[in-house]
Amino acid sequence: MKHGVRNCVKEYRKAKGWTQDQLAENIQVTRQTVIAIEKQRYEPSIGTAIKLSSVLECSLEQLFWIEGDK
C-alpha cells in the first residue's frame, strides 16, 4: 500500500463557509494550489500546512495524516 500524506482541507474549508479563492487568499497561495491540495495531488510545504491549520482553526493532526494511519 502506498503511504502518502492525506488531508481533509476541503471539509474544513466548507465548514467555515469559504470558497477556494477565500482560502487561497488567507494562506497566500493560488486557487490552483488549493484545488491541488484538496484533490490530494499536492502535498503542501510545512509552512503552508501550518497556515492552513491556523486559518482553518484545527491542529495539523486533524488536517493531515499518513495514509494507512487513520
The answer as to whether 26 is a domain residue is: yes
Q: pLDDT value at position 1? A: 42
Which domain CATH number covers 26?
1.10.260.40
Q: Do residues 57 and 28 touch, judged by C-beta distance below 8 A?
A: no
The answer as to whether 50 is a domain residue is: yes
Q: pLDDT value at position 69? A: 64
Q: Could you tell me the residue range of the domain that residue 49 belongs to?
A: 5-58
Q: How far is CA 29 from CA 22, 43, 70, in A?
A: 10, 13, 28
The number of distinct structural domains making up the chain is: 1
pLDDT, one tens digit per residue, over 19-64 is: 999 999 999 999 999 999 999 999 999 999 999 999 999 999 999 9
pTM: predicted TM-score of the whole model, two decimal places:
0.89
The answer as to whether 64 is a domain residue is: no
Nearest CA to 27 out of 7, 44, 2 is that of 44
Q: pLDDT value at position 40? A: 95
Q: pLDDT value at position 70? A: 54
Does pLDDT of 7 surpass 80?
yes
